Amino acid sequence: MRKYRCLNIITTDHVFWDITVRFVVKIPEGLAPEQAAPLLCAGVTVYSPISHFGLKEPGLRAGILGLGGVGHMGVKVAKAFGHHVTVISSSDKKKKEALEDLGADNYLVSSDTVGMQEAADSLDYIIDTVPVGHPLEPYLSLLKIDGKLILMGVINTPLQFVTPMVMLGKNHLLLPHQ
């Protein structure tokens, strides 16, 4: 039987939390808690679906759509699993950061039709971190058969996509809950 510790936490804005702790992460010396919190939050946000959907084996080809906070951690977590990582973005503004600073293997600009065609059927999964409504078809075409498009960005509009793109590629649209 596992033992869990119950914590009572009062935050700086006086919100009271009563939580059950199943594990603890030690914050390294020199890293302030306010710096660690976003890393832990974004890190578990991308780690959770990778683990849940069985994508932890080395050698998979990952796409990270959007390079904000969650996208940054998506690159790092996927690389830590030994995945070949392609960052997909709407412009080349973050190319240097993705490749040199974060260690992505490839960078793809979504408006580059030739690059997108060349990358078709090349990815095992895509973590979509874009927080606004956007067409899904261009990204579905990047997935191999049985590929997974994991939608992480919170959007407030209904999803729209052409269903044959999902059915013919035997792709999976996944909406992880947290």
Q: What is the CATH number of the domain that holds 80?
A: 3.40.50.720
Question: Does some domain include residue 118?
Answer: yes
Question: Does some domain include residue 4?
Answer: no
Q: What is the pLDDT of residue 59?
A: 98
Domain count, the chain: 1
Question: Does some domain include residue 35?
Answer: no
Q: How far is CA 177 from the centre of its chain?
A: 13
Question: Does some domain include residue 96?
Answer: yes
66: which DSSP letter?
A: -
Q: What is the pLDDT of residue 33?
A: 80
Q: What is the pLDDT of residue 10?
A: 46
pTM: predicted TM-score of the whole model, two decimal places: 0.79
H or E element at residue 152: none
pLDDT tens string, the chain, 178 residues long: the values are 444 444 444 455 555 455 555 556 777 889 888 888 877 888 888 998 999 899 999 999 999 999 988 999 999 999 999 999 999 999 999 999 999 999 999 999 999 999 999 999 999 999 999 988 888 888 988 999 888 989 888 777 777 666 665 555 555 655 665 4
Judge whether 96 and 119 are in contact, CB under 8 Å.
no
H or E element at residue 121: none
| Domain range enclosing 158 | 40-174
Question: Does some domain include residue 99?
Answer: yes
Question: Does some domain include residue 17?
Answer: no
Three-class secondary structure of residue 63 per DSSP: strand
Three-class secondary structure of residue 84 per DSSP: strand
Question: Does some domain include residue 149?
Answer: yes
Q: Where are the alpha helices (DSSP H) in the chain?
A: 33-52, 69-80, 95-96, 113-118, 137-140, 163-168
Question: Does some domain include residue 54?
Answer: yes
Tell me how long the chain is: 178
Q: What is the pLDDT of residue 3?
A: 47
Q: What is the pLDDT of residue 162?
A: 64
